[in-house]
Structure 1
Amino acid sequence: MRDAKKQTLANLANFSYDPINYEYIKQLHLLDLFLAQLSEDKEELIHFALAGLCNMSCDPESKEYVVSLNGVALISNFLLHKNEEISLNSLTTLFYLFDLGIPIPKEIEQKVMQYQSSANPRLKNLGTIFLQTYFPSETGR
Structure 2
Amino acid sequence: MELSVQYLRNASSEETKERIAANLSNFAYEPYKYIFLRHLNVLELFLDCIMKPSEKLIQFDVGGICNSCGDPANAAVITQCNGILLIIKCLSSHYAIAALCYLCDESNQDDVLKPKVVNIVKRYAASSSVRVSFSNLAQAFLDKHVP
Same-fold call, TM > 0.5? yes
**1:52 corresponds to which residue?**
64
The alpha carbon displacement at 1:100 in A equals 5.5
Say how many residue pairs are matched.
130
The alpha carbon displacement at 1:73 in A equals 1.0
Q: 2:120 is matched by which residue type in structure 1?
A: K
The alpha carbon displacement at 1:102 in A equals 1.9
**Within 2, Cα distance between the matches of 1:123 and 1:18?**
23
The alpha carbon displacement at 1:11 in A equals 0.8
The alpha carbon displacement at 1:107 in A equals 1.4
1:126 and 2:132 are equivalent in the alignment: no
Q: 1:93 is matched by which residue type in structure 2?
A: A
Q: What SS class does the counterpart of residue 104 from structure 2 fall into?
A: helix
**2:4 corresponds to which residue?**
none
Q: 1:48 is matched by which residue type in structure 2?
A: F
**TM-score normalised over the length of structure 2:** 0.83
**1:5 corresponds to which residue?**
17
The alpha carbon displacement at 1:117 in A equals 1.4
Q: 1:90 is matched by which residue type in structure 2?
A: A
The alpha carbon displacement at 1:95 in A equals 0.6
Q: Residue 63 of structure 1: which of 72, 75, 79 is its match?
A: 75
**1:92 corresponds to which residue?**
98
**1:114 corresponds to which residue?**
123
Residues 14, 54 of structure 2: 8 Å contact kept: no
The alpha carbon displacement at 1:3 in A equals 2.0
1:28 and 2:40 are equivalent in the alignment: yes
**Within 1, Cα distance between the matches of 2:28 and 2:67?**
6
**TM-score normalised over the length of structure 1:** 0.86
Q: What SS class does the counterpart of residue 116 from structure 1 fall into?
A: helix
Q: 1:17 is matched by which residue type in structure 2?
A: Y
**Within 2, Cα distance between the matches of 1:5 and 1:130?**
31
Q: Percent identity?
A: 31
**1:74 corresponds to which residue?**
86
**Within 2, Cα distance between the matches of 1:8 and 1:116?**
32
**2:114 corresponds to which residue?**
105
The alpha carbon displacement at 1:101 in A equals 4.6
Q: Structure 1, unaligned stretches of length 5 or more?
A: 82-86
Q: What SS class does the counterpart of residue 40 from structure 1 fall into?
A: coil
